[in-house]
Chain A
Amino acid sequence: MYQYSALDQQLVDERVEQFRDQTQRFLAGELSEEAFRPLRLMNGLYIQTHAPMLRVAIPYGLLASDQLRKLAHIARTYDRSFAHLTTRQNIQYNWLKLEDVPDVLEELSRVEMHAIQTSGNCIRNTTADHLAGVVADELDDPRPYCEIIRQWSTLHPEFSFLPRKFKIAVSGSAHDRAATQVHDIGIYLVNNPDQGIGFRILVGGGLGRTPVIGKVIRDFLPRHQLLSYLEAILRIYNQQGRRDNKYKARIKILVNALGIDTFRDLVEEEWLHLKDSGIDLGEAEIEAMRQFFQPFEYIADTGEGEQALARSCQDSPAFRIWYERNTQEHKAGAYRIVNVSVKAPGIAPGDLTDAQMDGVAALADNFSFGQVRVTHEQNLVLADVRKVDLHAVWKGLVALDLSTPNIGTLTDLICCPGLDYCSLANASSIPIAKQIGDRFDDLDYLYDLGDIKIKISGCMNACGHHHVGHIGILGVDKKGEEWYQITLGGSAEEDASLGKIIGPAVAKDQVAETIAKVLDVYIAVRQEEETFLQCVRRLGIAPFKEAAYA
């Protein structure tokens, strides 16, 4: 993984000092709340329902074990011994004290971490496929490009006060696990027969009040021209994006208002000036960055792992179920990818205790090259576990209550913090996740339903990505009561689509029941091997709607 140079470290250290000074001036009354607000936001600090919330960046979701231990230490020392994985591969603390935040940032800086630009109207953490580098269908590892974007966007002098927040995702596989098409800029690695590896660039995707799938602005961009092209897009957006209404300020609104062709013309015209102006990296620099993300030295597959697995599966049905659900194929034959479910029944999706973080860090050290990944679906991944070690890893995860064999099923859902923590919420989302977990606790039933993605947001801001859930749930406020609107047929993957609303919102205690009715229809009418999403796409929402309100 990327290692800080002395200069990277210095920048982060100086950022901590800058923020310490700003916080002290605010606490001393020298800086007004209004002036402090954008400064703290640019360090990931919100004022939430209970206390300040600090969002820490996990660049493209990749963590070394000592970083995860540091996150555990912070949870224990400064918070209530837990932290929360977000839908953008970051982690947040909900119960910090404002005056402690500079110290927390300093602790983070000692393990090459920070909270820079995890909030505010600037370029946010760049997200990537959480299985980068370990899957067979990958064209090229997206993480070197993410790190290049991270550095370019960090404290960018021109783009620190954009009309609105700005999110970039990069995917290098045919199968899109990074929700690339619903980002302000989505980047797919592609291969051009003449020019080698480069990018297809999408622009203007996003969720929120006006969900939009991104549009292709450039079919092929040579990889060394990435930064100048991003700079051109950002400059047009910075100058022309709306600032009069925050709900119309995202780049998607500008792209839709101008039309993608006009927007593209503006960007290409700007790019003509920028592309040879020294912003871009040379091939040697790109190669140097790629060296940080080379595959580990995997040992060859001798068949020993398969034998061990066969034995363990025979001895323990619980292990077998977990193995089949929560692990997946690795590009190296002697290894498996282990998905660590942070969706145990009764726990808020994505919440991790300090002990769990320490425990996973130890498992990573012992069995997965000391690295852990965070997924945008609010789980963790141990990406490089030898098959011979799977049983030991499973036992470790069982002890940590991180072994629920529900990856990809209905209860492996995405959920924003909602009313429990978020001051913008219209309705709660964590209790809905719990209601669904309680209602659908029969694993055989879940497995029979197959892959279904439920996504829950507590308001229109859509942090829970409900528009792109196979089943989306949106909390709405009706005369002071919490109601829930249900959508069907969304997807955030390569076949991205927005879900359709099935009808009037349902009462809070009816959410799981309504979903059960929808699923009954699926079970009754599905064709062989047909997934829930395929079934909704084939039939439309009518039969589901009819059953839901019957």
Chain B
Amino acid sequence: MRNRIFQGATAVEDQWQLVEEDSTTSAEVHLLYHYADWIENRATYLAQPGAKGVLLSNTDDVASLMPDLERLALICIDFPEAVDGRGYSQARLLRDRLGYSGELRAVGEVLVDQLFLMRRCGFDAYALPDKNVECISKYLDPFTVKYQ
């Protein structure tokens, strides 16, 4: 069962397929690589046509993606648990320091009540495990003021 994907507040069809060791890939979808796979085979993947993305666990070093950032259309950051906040720092580093401007998607334990924090750290897409959520706009922006 796939997650519900939102780009900003808009629900969208997911165009991406995560490449596992034994997966067969089709030409219709964009390919998302695990970080370790990407680091090892980046030259090969970069030479192939089509959009590319990388899935990070929250302990992966975002700085090592620096040379590839302009060629990546998607970076996913995994939240293994809702209360594990490492992904927020990764997002800010990617956006504020490394200047990544492609889609930045939160995946894993992504709960509606944390979306406003994610958005403020630079995420612009969210894979929600909860299929019942129809509309996320009120959760993206519950505060009209901020201190930081």
Contact = CB atoms under 8 A, between A and B. Distances in A.
Contact of B142 (A18, A161, A239): A18
A161 B84 contact: yes
A121 B121 contact: no
Contacts of A238: 85-86, 88-89
Nearest to B58: A239
A243 interface: yes
Contact of B89 (A10, A38, A154, A239): A239
Contact of B145 (A10, A158, A235): A10
Most buried by B among A155, A235, A279: A155
Nearest to B111: A35
Contacts, number: 73
A22 B142 CA distance: 12
Interface in B55-92: 82-86, 88-90, 92
B121 A10 contact: no
Contacts of B86: 238-239, 243
Interface string A260-286: 000000000000010001010000000
Contacts of A159: 85, 88
Given A22-B113, A35-B82, A243-B84, A156 B89 contact: no
Contacts of B117: 155, 157-158, 160
Most buried by A among B84, B89, B146, B148: B148
Given A10-B144, A11-B145, A158 B89 contact: yes
A541 B86 CA distance: 44
A457 B142 CA distance: 39
Interface string A347-389: 0000000000000000000000000000000000000000000
Interface string A141-159: 0000000000110111111
Contacts of A239: 86, 89-90
A267 to B, nearest CB: 14
Interface in A278-300: 279
A15 B144 CA distance: 10
A356 B117 CA distance: 40
Nearest to B120: A157
Nearest to A7: B145
Contacts of B92: 158
6 contacts: A35-B113, A38-B83, A121-B85, A156-B147, A159-B88, A239-B86
Name the 6 nearest CB pairs between A and B, nearest first.
A161-B85, A157-B120, A157-B117, A151-B147, A158-B88, A11-B145
Interface of B: 82-86, 88-90, 92, 96-97, 111, 113-114, 116-118, 120-121, 142-148
Interface of A: 7-8, 10-11, 14-15, 17-18, 22, 35, 38-39, 121, 151-152, 154-162, 235, 238-239, 243, 273, 277, 279
